[in-house]
Structure 1
Amino acid sequence: MEDDAHGVHDYLTDPRNADILVSVNGELKKRDEAVVSVFDSGYILGDGVWEGLRVMDGGIAFLPEHLKRLWAGAKALDMDIGLTKEALTARLTDCLKANGMEDGVHIRLMVTRGIKKTPYQGPRFTITQPTIVIIPEYKSPVPEIVETGVTLFTVHVRRTGPAEQDQKLNSHSKLNCVLACIQADKAGADEALMLDPLGFVATCNSTHFFIVREGEVWTSPPEYCLGGITRANIIKVCREAGIPVFEKRFSLFDVYSADEAFITGTFAGVTPVREVDGRSIELIDGPVSQKIREAYKALQARSLTPIA
């Protein structure tokens, strides 16, 4: 495990990652040689969109949903990715096959607007096609985290509305979340819990947040959080399993007295929360959370796009 890491993004160190091949605009590069220009829009401005993908049992989980979100984000930025979804899928699978990867892999897929002729924000100064980078790494969550749960700290940094920056946009510019992460780190917590402009619970800095109260599962409305793939699938499996699930506004009062709480994300799936702002959650990985985790794993297994 990384010495300076903690929380839901902890992962087991794998020596194979030293020799991975990274796809940079379709060319496979050794890890130390995988570079982009200092004039790239992503480096200069955070101008781009990205996806995190999970590889398991010879396939990529929920790939159509991730590509749909990627294309929607690119359209919001008025950016042409320059490839079809089929061509990008082929590039993903080619990269995985070149690395011999079939299981226990996390991919960071990044698309920026491309290289600028000068460091300026205007898209008209872009002189190349988009930069597309695929970084696959062997990453498995630390199993003990499910047993112990993670801690959250409510930060002062708020999730903005669409008038400022629409939170549905999974952009390279994540400064809002980075500042929240820093404040949580300084407070000794694993993840930041972020509120909406009116003070209701919105989401975490890099995961989505759910609570369980008297058998009901609550999560925030979608207006102030990323359109999470895992989030949507958790809601789906709850409905399929007959577990009452609601997208509704709720406050920290409701969180502190919750029976169970958990966070969700592509990397670790469903992770229990043991403490929020120093208040202990009554049940760590309680029965509802366990049922949801198992149902999500089953759905995940059915969702795989084979690495053909």
Structure 2
Amino acid sequence: MQYYNQDTYIYLDGEFVKANTAGTDLFGQSLHYGYGAFEGLRAYSTYHGSRIFKAEEHFNRLQESCRAINLPYQWNNNHLIEKTYELLSVNNLRSAYIRPLVFSGSNMHLTSAVESKIMIAAWEWGPYLGHNLLRVCTSRIERPNPKSFRIDAKVSGQYINSILASSDAIRNGFDEALLLDQEGFVAQASSENLFIEKDFKIYTPPLGNIFPGITRQAVIEICKDFQIEVIEKRLSIQDIHEADSAFLCGTAAEIIGIKEVDNIRYKEDWEHTIGASIQRKYKKLVLEEENYEVII
């Protein structure tokens, strides 16, 4: 996929510059050590114009991720949100995936950064995992141990783990991988949170060994609107296999149903599951087709 061309602009440290002319620091810790933080947001074309879903939450989380790894963050988030809307405008985008990245300056030492820069890019991108129901497998690769790393921060280097798990799943004929935590419980997919349905209740792994997704929280809020009980508990592989249905969620993937896990197919027709109802409600939420608050 081509993410930019000769006419594409990015926001780079206070300026809009052509993406194909922007350079990178070959002596930066972000390149050598994965010492950077990023976010993923989506803008949707609504009746009220282009709207970025939960922009404030995402930029606040970017700031917190930088704080977690001692990466300087000197920007005002409201200003960054304004510049992101400008970025959409200069690229003539109404619906887009948006990627802010905070990266460090030149430093070959294993010490905290003393300076950093920010880049924001945007491009047209459909749901990350497509539209079809997924075939998922349990990965041999575990979720990072929270005692060794701030896994609630969206840090560049830790996504090598996700790349390995996802690539391994695809090589074996699946669409996505489920990662276990260090105690053998199911944590999440490579870059999405997991929900299962069982006996008209929704279950999801608790915070602690998972990434605290913003879309995950939106799903929980939708369930409250539906008066559907959401139970946060540790889930075993057996729990996943014996569920009535399951789905993944994340900003890039949005909400997408799972057809089978480890070649065990769910018996429930997806269109009649609670997950499908949540998926439809979420789409109305991001498109402002109902009276929900969207932060601009």
The normalised TM-score by structure 2 is 0.89
Aligned to 1:107: 98
Letter aligned with residue 59 of structure 1: R
Select 2:186's aligned residue among 190, 193, 201: 201
Q: Partners in 1 of 2:242 and 2:127 — Cα distance? A: 28
Report the count of equivalent residues: 286
Deviations 1:142-177 (A, max 9, x none): 89x43x301111112111332111221110112222
Q: Partners in 1 of 2:233 and 2:128 — Cα distance? A: 31
Q: Partners in 2 of 1:295 and 1:139 — Cα distance? A: 21
Q: CA deviation at 1:80?
A: 2.4
Select 2:232's aligned residue among 242, 247, 254: 247
Q: CA deviation at 1:205?
A: 0.5
Letter aligned with residue 106 of structure 1: Y
Select 2:79's aligned residue among 87, 101, 106: 87
Stretches of 4+ moved more than 4 A in 1?
none
**1:150–1:17 distance in 2 versus 1, CA, 3 Å:** farther
What is the percentage of aligned positions where both structures have the same residue? 27
Q: CA deviation at 1:91?
A: 2.2
Aligned-residue Cα RMSD (Å) equals 2.1
Structure 2: give runs of 5+ residues left out of the alignment.
none
Q: CA deviation at 1:220?
A: 0.4
CA contact (8 A) 2:10 2:17 kept: yes
The normalised TM-score by structure 1 is 0.86
Aligned to 1:9: none
Aligned to 2:245: 260
Q: Partners in 2 of 1:269 and 1:18 — Cα distance? A: 29
Q: Partners in 1 of 2:269 and 2:260 — Cα distance? A: 9
CA contact (8 A) 2:56 2:78 kept: no
Q: Which has the higher helix share?
A: 1
Q: CA deviation at 1:88?
A: 1.6
Q: Partners in 1 of 2:24 and 2:14 — Cα distance? A: 13
CA contact (8 A) 1:273 1:284 kept: no
**1:208–1:284 distance in 2 versus 1, CA, 3 Å:** farther
**1:106–1:259 distance in 2 versus 1, CA, 3 Å:** same
SS at match of 2:270: coil
Aligned to 2:163: 178
SS at match of 1:274: strand
Deviations 1:155-212 (A, max 9, x none): 1211133211122111011222222123212222111100111111100001111111
Structure 1 residues 142-221: aligned runs within 5 Å: 145-146=130-131, 148-173=132-157, 174-221=159-206
